[in-house]
Structure formats: structure tokens, C-alpha cells
């Protein structure tokens, strides 16, 4: 069962996308399931069809893209508290995932099935654009990240990421952060000195 604090956080984020209609919270609550993780856990594997969307109520989730240069794959994205986690691009199209998704230990996710989300959006027509807005926000953030990978020097990128997401450095492994920032994992520590 989902607690009121986490559910309230979900509603606040959804309300930021569009005004929530009356009765929506009561219809949504029984469809939301609480998942917590004591240790890192893959919640989706490459090739699987994602049947749920997750909301990060607490903690951190990462996307892992397969890479020829490393056995563990490459961290291609992070989802932070308040984000919706979905395979890019497979979830909304019902296609097989091209990535793995891993929740870090200590994370709390709220889960709703794609089928129930579809019915809910149908029943509350004023929410028809909410999935597009969620996708847009994620896509825009990914575009900014790609631009920074191309245009910023490593030291500036690490500094910016550290100041924007300090909590990530307390949760994620250094090699995951380095991979996300496009630098060698043993080199990230020299960029962190003095921050």
C-alpha cells in the first residue's frame, strides 16, 4: 500500500503537468503500488516489454545501455526523485526495451500498469496530453544532456552535474556517474577535487 506522503508527492508532480480533475486522486490511489529496494535491482531488462511506469518517490534509478566497450553497459540516463521512469523509447509504444533499468538500493518507486494508466486517461479525458508532457519533459532533459556532452569540457560538466544533483554522488557508484558524463571512471575523482 502506498503511503499518503508518497502519493501526495505523485499528485503534486502530476498537477504540475496539468490541473487534476475532481475524483482523479480517488481513482488513481488503488491502482498505485509501492516498491522499495534495499539493494540495487534491475526492474527491466533489455528485450522485455515494460508493463508499468514508475514514479521515483525517493532514491535514484538509472538506464543502462549495452556498450561494446564495457561488460556492465553504460549509464545512459538517471531518473531522480519526482521523475517518471520509462524505457526510452519503448514504453509508450508497447515495444521491447532497448535498455536495462536499475533501481538503486534505498529507492522507493510507485508503480502503475500501462493498461490501467490507459483506462484512467480515457476516463479522465482532460488528462489526454499528460503522457505527451511526461515524454516531452524527459526528451528535453535528454537533449540538454547530449548538448552538454558535446559542448562542455569534462571539468565543467562534472561541476555542473555535482551542483545540480549532489545526492547522486551519495547514491550512485562513481563509475556509473562517470559513464553518464562520458568520462573514464578513474578520472572523475580529479574533477571532484575542490567542489
Q: Say if CB 50 and CB 114 are below 8 A apart.
A: yes
Give the tens place of pLDDT for each residue, 128-170. 888 889 989 999 999 999 999 999 999 999 999 999 999 999 9
Contact 18, 129 (CB under 8 A): yes
Question: Hey, how many other C-beta atoms are within 10 angstroms of the C-beta on 141?
Answer: 15
Domains of the chain: 4-128 (2.60.120.10)
**3-class secondary structure, 70:** strand
- All 3 cell numbers of residue 29? 490511489
Please state the pTM of the whole predicted model: 0.92
Phi, psi angle pair for 160, to nearest 5°:
-60, -45
**Alpha-carbon Rg for the chain in angstroms:** 17
pLDDT tens, residue by residue, 78-124: 999 999 999 876 787 888 999 999 999 999 999 999 999 889 988 99
Q: In 3D, which of 40, 47, 46 has the Cα closest to residue 61? A: 40
Amino acid at each position: 500500500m502506498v503511503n499518503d506522503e508518497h502519493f501526495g508527492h505523485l499528485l503534486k508532480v502530476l498537477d504540475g503537468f496539468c490541473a487534476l480533475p475532481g475524483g482523479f486522486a480517488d481513482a488513481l490511489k488503488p491502482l498505485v503500488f509501492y516498491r522499495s529496494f534495499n539493494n540495487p535491482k534491475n526492474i527491466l531488462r533489455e528485450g522485455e516489454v515494460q508493463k508499468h511506469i514508475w514514479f521515483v518517490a525517493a532514491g535514484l534509478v538509472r538506464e543502462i545501455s549495452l556498450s561494446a566497450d564495457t561488460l556492465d553497459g553504460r549509464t545512459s540516463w538517471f531518473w531522480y526523485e519526482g521523475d517518471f521512469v520509462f524505457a526510452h523509447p519503448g514504453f509508450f509504444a508497447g515495444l521491447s526495451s532497448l535498455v536495462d533499468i536499475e533501481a538503486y538500493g534505498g529507492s522507493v518507486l510507485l508503480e502503475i500498469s500501462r493498461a490501467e494508466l490507459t483506462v484512467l486517461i480515457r476516463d479522465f479525458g482532460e488528462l489526454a496530453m499528460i503522457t505527451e508532457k511526461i515524454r516531452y519533459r524527459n526528451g528535453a532533459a535528454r537533449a540538454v544532456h547530449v548538448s552538454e556532452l558535446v559542448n562542455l569540457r569534462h571539468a565543467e560538466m562534472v561541476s555542473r552535474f555535482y551542483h545540480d544533483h549532489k545526492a547522486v554522488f551519495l547514491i550512485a557508484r562513481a563509475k556509473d556517474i562517470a559513464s553518464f558524463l562520458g568520462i573514464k571512471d578513474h578520472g572523475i575523482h580529479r574533477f571532484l577535487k575542490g567542489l
